[in-house]
């Protein structure tokens, strides 16, 4: 597995990371924990060094899983986690609001260190921008944690361009995490030019469109009642039918490359910039291996031009999130 550096931060990770959320949260009933521990260790054996989790995934169970699985190989991996949500004090499964107060950030950091069984968090993201806390205060709190040796790098997830600049002026931002794929290209307008100027990396979450770009989901697919895709506008049957054209395009390119649609989708991201790192998630070993195979697919300038030309004629239908959640992004 090739390595990539996330901007000018010096943070080096595998060209593909692994998003761990779905191993315990969001995509229906959680899989067997022992199987997920085995899968995480299999990822390390296959060269993946970058793992993404958050306290809110579960809550807490995902960090605990990642900590248990990766503690024997701690010196080989980079672990990213996140702060920024106010969780139900009664232990309910849903967050009840945003909270990026400096005091809360430090409490979350201590708890995450314990759950992850580590003595330093490699990459600590603000999960969503909190409009009630100046971003300078957030960056300052993480700077304190870095000075204390509890965090190595600072990141932001789904911020706006102005927020990035303000945070970066207080504490250098190593990387931004945004949804980015062939069907979610909004970061190209402002975010990517801003972070390129500032020397900040881009971690691409949902690089396979929450599974849609694999070609395994159609307009007739039904999801478990606990699967959060049920509430996403882009996953209505009508939207899936309209968006199938993008999957067909990936399939066409894949036939020419002897690759799957998912592999082409990931290879496309890797071909954009050398400081882009996609973090597809999976709960299955064969999907993990399929995703890793994308790192070996070379898309020529002609391939990229063909994809760009065809994709420009396809209008993706449906918002990424319901209106309430869209308001929590800077895009």
Determine phi and psi for 54, rounding to 5 degrees.
-165, 150
Distance between CA 316 and CA 304 in Å, rounded? 19
236's enclosing H/E stretch is: none
Structure tokens at 292: 């890793």
Are the CB atoms for 202 and 276 separated by under 8 Å? yes
Q: Identify the bridge partners of residue 87 per DSSP, sorted by sequence position.
A: 95
**Does the annotation mark 205 as catalytic?**
no
Residue of 122, 116, 127, 128 lying closest to 153 (CA atoms):
122
Give 281's DSSP letter: B
Tell me if 244 sits within 8 A of 219, measured CB to CB.
yes
Q: Cβ of 160: how many Cβ atoms within 10 Å?
A: 17
Angle between helices 61-70 and 33-45 (to 10 degrees): 50
Residue tagged active-site, from 57, 180, 205, 321: 57
Hey, what are 96's tokens? 């009840």
Q: In what order do the strands lie in the sheet with 151-157?
A: 18-19, 50-52, 78-83, 121-126, 151-157, 173-179, 201-205, 276-278
Q: Kindly list the catalytic residues.
A: 57
């Amino acid at each position: 597995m090739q390595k990539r550096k996330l901007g000018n931060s010096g943070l080096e990770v595998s060209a593909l990371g692994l998003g761990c959320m779905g191993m315990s949260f969001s995509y229906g009933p959680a899989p067997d924990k022992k199987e997920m521990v085995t899968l995480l260790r299999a990822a390390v054996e296959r060269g993946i060094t970058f793992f993404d989790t958050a306290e809110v995934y579960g809550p807490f169970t995902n960090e605990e899983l990642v900590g248990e699985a990766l503690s024997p190989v701690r010196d080989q991996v980079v672990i990213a986690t996140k702060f920024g949500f106010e969780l139900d004090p009664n232990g309910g499964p849903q967050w009840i609001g945003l909270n990026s107060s400096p005091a809360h950030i430090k409490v979350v950091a201590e708890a995450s260190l314990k759950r992850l069984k580590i003595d330093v968090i490699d990459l600590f993201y603000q999960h969503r921008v909190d409009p009630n806390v100046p971003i300078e205060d957030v960056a300052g709190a993480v700077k304190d944690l870095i000075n204390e040796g509890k965090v190595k790098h600072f990141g932001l997830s789904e911020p706006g361009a102005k927020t990035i600049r303000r945070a970066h002026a207080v504490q250098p931002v190593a990387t931004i995490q945004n949804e980015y794929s062939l069907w979610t290209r909004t970061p190209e307008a402002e975010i990517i030019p801003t972070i390129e100027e500032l020397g900040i990396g881009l971690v691409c979450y949902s690089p396979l469109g929450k599974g849609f770009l694999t070609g395994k989901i159609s307009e007739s697919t039904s999801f478990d009642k606990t699967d959060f895709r049920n509430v996403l506008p882009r996953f209505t049957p009508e939207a899936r039918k309209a968006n199938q054209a993008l999957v067909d395009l990936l399939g066409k390119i894949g036939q020419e490359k002897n690759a799957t649609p998912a592999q082409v989708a990931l290879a496309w991201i890797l071909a954009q910039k050398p400081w882009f790192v996609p973090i597809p998630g999976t709960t299955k070993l064969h999907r993990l291996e399929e995703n890793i195979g994308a790192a070996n697919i070379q898309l020529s300038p002609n391939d990229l031009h063909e994809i760009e030309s065809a994709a420009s004629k396809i209008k993706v239908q449906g918002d990424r999130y319901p209106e309430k959640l869209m308001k929590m992004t800077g895009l």
